[in-house]
Amino acid sequence: MIAQLPDDTARVIELGGGTGAITQALLDAGIADEHLLVLELNEELQAHLQRQFPRVPVVLGDARSLPQLVADSGWLAAGHADAIVSGLGLLAMPHPLQRDILLGALSCLRAGGVFVQFTYGRNAPVAEPVLRELALQVRRGAFVLRNVPPATVYVYSR
CATH number at residue 16: 3.40.50.150
pLDDT digits (tens, 9 = 90+) for 92-102: 999 999 999 99
Interatomic CA distance for residues 82 and 88, integer angstroms: 19
Instruction: Name the pLDDT band for 144 (thresholds 50, 70, 90).
Output: confident
- Taking only the tens place, the pLDDT of each residue in 68-115 is 999 999 999 999 999 999 999 999 999 999 999 999 999 999 999 999
> For residue 79, what are the domain limits?
2-157
What integer pLDDT is reported at residue 145 of this predicted model?
67
Q: How many structural domains does the chain have?
A: 1
| Residue 121: pLDDT band with limits 50, 70, 90 | confident
Report how far residue 9's alpha carbon sits from residue 70's, in angstroms, rounded to the nearest whole number: 18
Taking 80 as the threshold, does the pLDDT of residue 27 lie above it? yes
Q: Of all helices (H) and strands (E), which one includes residue 106?
A: helix 95-107
How far is CA 18 from each of CA 43, 44, 83, 131, rounded to the nearest angstrom? 10, 10, 18, 26
